[in-house]
Amino acid sequence: MSGACGGTIAEIRSLVSSGQASAVEICRAHLQRARDVEPRVKAFRALLEESALSQAETIDRDRREGRPLGPLAGVPIAVKDVLCTRGVPTTCGSLILRNFVPVYDATCVARLRQAGAVIVGKTNMDEFAMGSSTENSAYEKTCNPWALDRVPGGSSGGSAAAVAAGEVPASLGSDTGGSIRQPAAFCGIPGMKPTYGRVSRYGLVAFASSLDQVGPLGLTVEDVARVLQVIAGHDPLDSTSAPLPVPDYLAALGKGARGLRIGVPKEYFRSGLDPEVETAVRSGLKIAERLGARLEEISLPHTEYAIPTYYIIATAEASSNLARYDGVRYGHRAHDVHQMGPLYVRTRTEGFGSEVKRRVMLGTYVLSAGYYDAYYLKGQKVRTLIRQDFERAFEKLDAIVTPTSPTPAFRFGEKVDDPLAMYLSDIFTVTLNLAGLPGMSIPCGLTRDHLPVGMQIIGRRFDEEMVLRLGAALEGEIKFGARRPSLDGTS
């Protein structure tokens, strides 16, 4: 696809730098696309038309006056509403923060602006990033552009849907247990969770601090690489940010798959995996083999413990992080309450949705006296075993490939009242967050119902280059990008 609207980052950057199209024209085209499709998709919490056009005008002025342009000059990008944006509400999909306006930008947002990106809006999400369908937003349900009666995945469902619907060429999401990769799979686009520590978390509103990571979604693997190139790197404002140099991700894209050793873990191809998903992923693996990669079945034996381990650690950290929402310092405050205890109860009852309350209660329980050792401490020990599984596997492998999700996108209401079924949607993705590894979902096929299927590429810690290299090689053969959703109804 090419042109002012619908083009890749490289195409848009070229149009702006050459003067074939102005940044303002490109911004207006994408804003118009958003206005056209938002009544059906509902990807955005807010479109920032005035500030976006102002940013675009600045870029056009810089070009006219001969000043150097950044690597994302004039590229419209959407930002998940869990990332702080100066002077713009950041709600985290929650009523408790509906009037919260940060006074600073998250580091990754600031780096996008410095690179010339035009921030066109904040995207919808599951409340506090807790969910796998974007049905837990306190405001609206985002629809999957491939089938409007189905979920876009979560919690970064708005960010994925905005890209898939052609509203922006790229977006930022956050990933605590699969919240970039699973919606990328459901919406038929690439999306990457970098290594923990590769991208600054400063300004990311915390869900589970040892698991959360910011990452990009795009129309192509190259788009993902271009955004990652900008947002990656050490940040002194984030104590967990790794002080490591950032490689040239674009240089890795053309190296192909020949000679790569790819592990296929048997634990990810068992009962519960949708047959059409398995067929599409195995077809992608055959393509990798045809490109010269060597496949090897492997075992990651502690995979079966990943979901309970994740939901112990993540909820414990959520309980601690969300204690700050007390109606005293910022955020929603219950009215006509004059005692501290009732103020806390009323504020949180009114401000938090049912899934957030469920996770906070579970996390508080596993951290409570008498249960800490039995649950939280044991969970951390199993987390170590899961990480060691991957470390042993990567002693002889370059990458690991799995399905991203056990099913394609499901219908609204299908799982929202069954928390365990919803949690199992993340069964193939949570392991990477527990182990701190980079992973990317790329589309690898369609089901009979015309729903995208994603395959997950996993790399060693801080080896995003390998993940992008293999992703680009497979994308070039699968050629999924030529297929786009019609936005004309249900599957």
- Of 22, 42, 80, 137, catalytic: 80
Whole-number Å distance between alpha carbons of 93 and 39: 18
Q: Are 460 and 394 contacting, i.e. CB atoms less than 8 angstroms apart?
A: yes
**Kind of pairing, strands 399-403 and 261-265?**
parallel
Q: Are 73 and 59 contacting, i.e. CB atoms less than 8 angstroms apart?
A: yes
> Residues with Cβ < 8 Å from 222, sequence gap 6 or more?
8, 9, 10, 250, 253, 472
Q: Are 90 and 97 contacting, i.e. CB atoms less than 8 angstroms apart?
A: yes
Cβ-based neighbour number of residue 258 at 10 Å: 10
Is there a catalytic annotation at residue 137?
A: no
Cβ-based neighbour number of residue 31 at 10 Å: 23
As given in the structure block, the two tokens for residue 26 are 């490109």
Give the three-class secondary structure for 138: coil
57, 262, 283, 333 from 297: Cα distances, Å: 53, 9, 15, 54
- Of 22, 133, 159, 179, catalytic: 179
Of 398, 391, 396, the C-alpha closest to 260 is 398
Question: In angstroms, how far is the first alpha carbon of the chain from the final one?
Answer: 24
Is there a catalytic annotation at residue 368?
A: no
Whole-number Å distance between alpha carbons of 263 and 400: 4
Is there a catalytic annotation at residue 179?
A: yes
Cis peptide before 155 (omega within 30 of 0): yes
As given in the structure block, the two tokens for residue 283 are 């077809």
Whole-number Å distance between alpha carbons of 475 and 295: 18
Q: What is the DSSP letter of 128?
A: G
- Of 22, 133, 155, 405, catalytic: 155
Q: Are 34 and 45 contacting, i.e. CB atoms less than 8 angstroms apart?
A: no
Q: Is 336 exposed, middle or buried (0-12, 13-18, 19+ CB in 10 A)?
A: exposed
As given in the structure block, the two tokens for residue 47 are 């479109």
The set of catalytic residues is 80, 155, 179
